[in-house]
Amino acid sequence: MSTNLLLIPGDGVGPEILAQAELVLDELCNLTDLEVICEHADMGGAAYDKTGHSLPQSTVSLAKDCDAVLFGACGGPKWDSLPRANRPETALLRLRRELDLFANLRPAILFDCLASSSSLKDNIVAGLDILIIRELTGGIYFGEPRGVETLDSGKQRGVNTLVYHEDEITRIAHVAFKIARQRDNRVCSIDKANVLETTEFWRQVVTSVGETHYPDVELSHMLVDNAAMQLVREPKQFDVIVTTNMFGDILSDISAMLTGSIGMLPSASLDLNQKGLFEPVHGTAPDIAGQNKVNPLAMILSLAMLLRYTLKQDDLADSVEQAVERVIEKGIRTPDIYFEGALLVGTDQMGSEVVNELRNLLN
Ligand code: IPM
Ligand code: MG
């Protein structure tokens, strides 16, 4: 049976990296019995320029109908001054909501040979393997009321609302505990329970889900400011982290940098059926867009997550990850992970090297 994928290149470096992931996908189809039908759609600034909408309805419909979405990145200075509703970032947030992609998985895994690319000392990060699970469709990102209003006094005020329903916390907690069971069996839930009632409630709900359904999984809690510090002090103390939308946004950028380059990190955003959208953690990098400089590995590793989570093809996911690892072990590097003596390559060559290694592995 063939799988329907929707490919959304987006803006900035998005098209360049997605093109490399497509080559990897083509090769997987050549080498194995994987059958994939791909459609393409626009979103973000690219869509706005063509249609006047950053998230065209046709893209939403295609995304709802397909098995999974592979997405590059969206946004850029060109569209920053548009009304918020038309901005590329709003398109991504809307698509996450439309598809109910509440569970965002952001692994931070350090490939051994990249330990020296981290800004932290080798011994602090060597062997790092943590997974941040970020609630993605609730919290302050979506809470109402929101906006900037003018008061009777003539002064303005800005309002955003941090709101979580019990069910939203329960379902993300289940995801975290289940995944922890397949790993080191530890969940750390991160909140600001000492100040914010909503996150004190978050802590209570996560605790109750753990006690009721996963007594075998070790659960701890940490305040977000301490967690930010612990992530750079002793990151290997964590296994699975589960946290709110905004805390997850911030902490996942920190954990990305632990691994040496944000250009290496994939992510999965899943619904209840593990259908989802797969994208690199990094953004559109407008400063290097179109220059064949961007690292396509985060995008290729996002394809591996798609194979693992939506298609349940663990073997193929392993092969893609191994191919990536072999390439970087050979010292082949894009500028973001370059060191003296390595072989500096462009985006397209990095992609071809992964395809070659895949051939070696699967033939
Ligand atoms: C991310 C990004 C997005 C977010 C932006 C682009 C809306 O930073 O996926 O982490 O804040 O969720
Ligand atoms: Mg972010």
At residue 249 the predicted structure's pLDDT band, cuts being 50, 70 and 90, is very high
Atom 5, ligand 1: residue with shortest CA distance: 89
At residue 96 the predicted structure's pLDDT band, cuts being 50, 70 and 90, is very high
Q: Do the Cβ atoms of 24 and 305 come closer than 8 Å?
A: no
pLDDT of residue 261: 77
> Would you say residue 270 has pLDDT above 80?
yes
pLDDT of residue 1: 76
Tokens of residue 224, six digits: 């977000």
No. of H helices and E strands in the chain?
A: 12, 14
Tell me if residue 159 falls in helix, strand or coil.
strand
For 338-349, the pLDDT digits (tens) are 988 999 999 999
Tokens of residue 355, six digits: 């395809």
For 158-183, the pLDDT digits (tens) are 999 999 999 999 999 999 999 999 99
Least confident of 97-101, 115-119, 222-226, 300-304: 115-119
For residue 274, the CA-to-ligand 1 centroid distance in Å is 20
| Mean pLDDT over the full length of the chain | 96
pLDDT of residue 66: 96
Domains present along the chain, CATH in parentheses: 1-101+282-363 (3.40.718.10), 103-270 (3.40.718.10)
For residues 54-59, average pLDDT: 97
Residue type, 19: A
> Would you say residue 260 has pLDDT above 80?
no
pTM of the model: 0.94
Ion ligand 2: residues, CB < 5 A: 249
Known catalytic residue at 121? no
For residues 274-285, average pLDDT: 94
For residues 184-194, average pLDDT: 98
> Would you say residue 69 has pLDDT above 90?
yes
Return the H-helix or E-strand segment holding 267.
strand 266-270
Atom 11, ligand 1: residue with shortest CA distance: 249
pLDDT of residue 11: 97
CA distance 107 to 255: 9
pLDDT of residue 108: 94
At residue 207 the predicted structure's pLDDT band, cuts being 50, 70 and 90, is very high
Atom 4, ligand 1: residue with shortest CA distance: 249
For residue 249, the CA-to-ligand 1 centroid distance in Å is 7
- To test the pocket of ligand 1, the residue of 69, 74, 93 to mutate (highest count of ligand atoms within 8 Å of its CB) is 93
For residues 185-193, average pLDDT: 98
pLDDT of residue 45: 97
Task: Please report the DSSP string for 311-329 in residue order.
Answer: S--HHHHHHHHHHHHHHHH
For 289-305, the pLDDT digits (tens) are 999 999 999 999 999 99
For residues 270-275, average pLDDT: 94
Exposed (0-12), middle (13-18) or buried (19+): which is 217, by Cβ within 10 Å? buried
